[in-house]
Structure 1
Amino acid sequence: MRRSPRPALAAALLAAAALVLTACGADDSGAPAPAGTTSARAAVAWDPCLALPAELIRAAGFDPASRRADTAQSPAGGWAGCGWSDGTTALRVHAADEPAGDLPGTPDTVAGEPATRFTEGAFDCTLQLPAASGGAVRLRIDTRPSGPELGAPCELAHRAAAVLAPALP
């Protein structure tokens, strides 16, 4: 009698989902992993999860309670990130102590400071700014194709960056 492959397939899918969720490094507290634990989250001098005040996140249009540690954009390490969401739009802020290097993008400005703007598609926009410490900060907006029309992702990124600029390094 031949056994059905469904239980094995279900177990494999569950294991893969757990691996993906673990690899993203998100946690509900938004705080860095405690010392002595293994995590993809980098220790940086300016951590957006700890440094960006709730009132600025709210003023930028996001719920401070939606904060999640975000390491998805930094697979090589060296970046710490945090993300917030309003249900249809997500804001991600990443910081690194080292310069990020030249990225293919368009020269831009944020709050009078030089920046680089780049996108990966029609529903995202990233603004990269140099940090005073010599590192870099990236602000990224991701929108859902089915979400309400709130503006182009780069317009939203500029609005969020203008609100957060006083707290950026």
Structure 2
Amino acid sequence: MVAGAVVGAVVGCDDDSSGKPVATSSAAAPVLWDPCSEISDEVIRAAGADPATEESGIGGVHQSGWEMCTWMGDTYSVAVFSTGRTVAEFEQKPGQVDFQDVTIGGRAGRQFRVEGASKDLRCDVLFAARQGVVQISILNRASLTGIDGPCLSAERAGEVLVPTFPI
């Protein structure tokens, strides 16, 4: 699998008013790792979801600054997000609470919950990467009872997902 890379400065040449070449440069945004194309159907099945239910973006709409992919399972949905943001930015966002260190798939991460009605149904885990962050989000189906908590499901799904993430 190919991990996203940060694109460095692009250097080119333009002409000044005298027609002589002048060096120019511009910085490009980081190229984000795309979970929809980089995580295999086999891994999605092992994470407890159905690859045929794949949805890119939110409702199929791309979100600027993010690569997102969601799959449905029998008891929960699995979403994987990729962004150039940092773990510290997530920790400072109001409504994101209960941060704690975790290790999943042999990789250090930061688990958190989102305040509100879905707090007991959802669990998120962030993993720092060169490009920024890769995030797992598990959302349990509200209509089901007697199922594993979302953080336990995130840990189990993460055991197979995390090794596919960029470093």
Would the TM-score normalized by the shorter structure come out above 0.5? yes
Aligned to 2:76: 89
Contact 2:111–2:125 (Cα < 8 Å) also in 1? yes
Structure 2: unaligned runs, 5 residues or longer = 1-28, 92-96
Specify the structure having the higher radius of gyration (Cα). Answer: 2
Aligned to 2:141: 144
Alignment of 1:78-117 (within 5 A): 78-102=65-89, 103=91, 104=97, 105-117=99-111
- CA shift at 1:114, angstroms? 1.6
Structure 1 pair 166/76, CA: closer, same or farther in 2 (3 Å)? closer
2:73 & 2:162 partners in 1: Cα distance? 20
Structure 1: unaligned runs, 5 residues or longer = 1-41
1 or 2, which has the higher strand percentage? 2
Aligned to 2:165: 168
2:149 & 2:161 partners in 1: Cα distance? 19
Contact 1:70–1:92 (Cα < 8 Å) also in 2? no
1 or 2, which has the higher helix percentage? 1
Greater RCO structure (CA 8 Å; 6+ sep) = 2
- CA shift at 1:55, angstroms? 0.3
Is 1:118 the equivalent of 2:112?
yes
Secondary structure of the residue that 2:138 maps to in structure 1? strand
Give the counterpart of 1:156 among 153, 157, 163.
153
- CA shift at 1:69, angstroms? 0.9
TM-score, reference length from structure 2? 0.67
2:82 & 2:121 partners in 1: Cα distance? 22
Q: In angstroms, what is the RMSD of aligned CA positions?
A: 2.4
Identity in percent: 32
Aligned to 1:129: 127
Letter in 2 for 1:93: V
TM-score, reference length from structure 1? 0.66
CA deviation string 1:29-56 (max 9, x = no partner): xxxxxxxxxxxxx984310011000000
Aligned to 1:25: none
Contact 1:43–1:78 (Cα < 8 Å) also in 2? no
